[in-house]
A = this chain, B = another copy of it.
Amino acid sequence: MWIRLLGVTRAAEGELREFLRVEHGTTLPRFDVMAALYRRRDGVTMSELSRMLLVSNGNATTVVDRLEADGLVRRTPSETDRRTVFVALTPEGLAQFEGLAAGHEAQVARMFGGLSEADLDALTEILKRMGAA
């Protein structure tokens, strides 16, 4: 059961990874970061980012470093707390992400395609209860 759950998500991640690589020359972790920044358009701190993606702080730093070097993301120091930094998509990053998002959406839709409305509700409920455990 757990094995099967893991199998489904890994297979899906693999497909997404391939899509990003072949069609857009990018990678899954970069996509994840950009997706998080897309959902929080006005910027997030590094800590928030790593909490959102469930990755370590160090990891967030490296991926953001690379995205920043490519001009897709911008770091802005906080005015009120000199420890914190805000990260946000640049216009270039926003444009690139919107290009990726459509393809990703289509993949996810295909993945859930065989499911009825009731199935989706049931799955939502189950995952909610598992998350609580």
Residues of A within 8 A of B (CB): 1-2, 4-14, 54, 108, 110-115, 119-120, 122-124, 126-133
Contacts and interface: CB of A to CB of B under 8 A. Distances in A.
Contacts of A130: 8, 111-112, 114-115
Contact of A7 (B119, B126, B131): B131
Majority DSSP secondary structure for residues of A touching B: helix
30 contacts: A1-B112, A1-B120, A1-B123, A1-B124, A2-B108, A2-B112, A4-B128, A4-B131, A5-B9, A5-B127, A7-B54, A8-B127, A8-B131, A10-B54, A11-B54, A110-B133, A111-B130, A111-B133, A112-B130, A112-B133, A113-B133, A114-B130, A114-B133, A115-B126, A119-B122, A119-B129, A122-B123, A122-B126, A123-B123, A123-B126
